[in-house]
Amino acid sequence: MSKTHTPRIVITGIGAVTPIGNSVEAYWNGMMNGVSGAAPITRFDAADFDTRFACEVKDYDPLLHLNRKEVQRMDLFTQFAMSAAVMAFEDSGLNVEQINLERAGVVFGSGIGGMWTYHHQQQNLYDRDGKPDRISPFFVPMLISDIAAGHIAIRYGLKGPNYGTVSACATSSHSIADAFMLMQRGMADVMLAGGSEAVICPMGIGGFNAMKALSTRNDDPATASRPFDLERDGFVMGEGGGILVMETLEHAMNRGAKIYAEVSGIGLTDDAFHITQPAPGGEGAVRSMKLAIEDAGLVPEDIDYINAHGTSTPFNDRSESAAIRSVFGDHADRLSVSSTKSMTGHLLGAAGAIEAIAVSLAIANQTAPPTINQITPDPDCDLDYVANAPKQREIKAALSNTFGFGGHNATLCFKAFSE
């Protein structure tokens, strides 16, 4: 299919459950106010852990979107997914009686899946003398990371393409990229795409502690996530979920849908270098950004804002900054670059989804969210990181970067919508 005849893809609905707000409005207000979602862990007793804080979702009520039986049969990551999906579907104004359900689908991922389910079922096994009859028949359906996509489809009767993506912290960006490609290929008119994660549990925190990946700033959690700051000492674990309703422009226009932004290009690469560390100079990130810009039919000078992967780890922030300079040259000094992980923490497989939402809202509101906790400049990170307060500015085109263990790189390009 030639580029001139490829369908344009737009965002018509968004839903989010985040550590700084359980709705899209609350999430955006949290970013605009520079709110940190970090606080002492309440989901389990973390007294013996090196890290005793995280960005938990607060005051979450799954019964707003699910019945009690559904809640009992869903891991927390799926509950987050379903809440985000319900909000996005309602926001889009879609009516299942007026769309072709065989041309509507879901691509929704999780980097790890039902970690709490595994924890509880393993405890059941060990606490009852290892008798396998103590394992719940819902163990596997609650555990597997693709199950959220299945539940969303069942909720709305969506019979088009349906599967889960798994690529560590790039997971939900890959979900959005896959949905984008499926619609460009003509296989669907409507796709729900995103991701969710819920791994603030003993093995989740303990595992990342063992890697020395998490901040241990236990005396001041609110300032622990400090991307691009010289004093950064690791990322802060987050949880939650986000989802976009994506439609072909023709489908959206035919029903008079509101449009947040256009998904205009994607760049997908791998470092092929190391299981956890980025390639020197962010070489893989350089290629993913260049590919996304080219796919969108743009040049680097067209980009105004980048929502950076910006994890608050020494390796990532330095290499991503270098990659941005490599791609943009002198234009890098005219970019606004922010890491919303400074507020939400790192949602792993859900990061790409909630950050795509942040970019969509940044375009809709012509405002770049801040990077909070910018206290001590790092000479190796010398871009405009929108330090500590949002910045009103023209944003015609923007990128969202997500990079995952295994060397996975995904860059999404978004544009302000115009007919």
Please list the active-site residues.
Answer: 169, 309, 346
Question: What is the 8-class DSSP label of residue 348?
Answer: G
Q: Which residues does residue 241 pair with via DSSP β-bridges, in sequence order?
A: 17, 196
Structure tokens at 333: 């000094």
| Cα–Cα distance for residue pair 216/219, rounded to 1 Å | 8
For the chain, give percent helix, strand, coil, nearest 5: 40, 20, 40
Contact 89, 62 (CB under 8 A): no
Q: Are strands 104-109 and 162-163 parallel, antiparallel or unpaired?
A: parallel
Q: What are phi and psi of 9, to 5 degrees?
A: -120, 130
Considering only CA atoms, which of 366, 415, 361 is closest in space to residue 392?
A: 366
Q: Answer positive or negative: Cα dihedral of 29, 79, 12, 186.
A: positive
Structure tokens at 151: 């539940």
Q: How many other C-beta atoms can be found within 10 angstroms of the C-beta atom of residue 13?
A: 24
Considering only CA atoms, which of 347, 379, 300 is closest in space to residue 17?
A: 347
Contact 239, 115 (CB under 8 A): no
Where does residue 113 fall: left (phi above 0), alpha (psi -120 to 50 degrees), or beta otherwise? Answer: left
Contact 311, 213 (CB under 8 A): no
Question: What is the 8-class DSSP label of residue 199?
Answer: -
| Residue 332, amino acid | A
| Cα–Cα distance for residue pair 168/193, rounded to 1 Å | 16
Where does residue 34 fall: left (phi above 0), alpha (psi -120 to 50 degrees), or beta otherwise? Answer: left
Structure tokens at 190: 């409507």
Question: What is the 8-class DSSP label of residue 280?
Answer: G
| Residue 102, amino acid | E
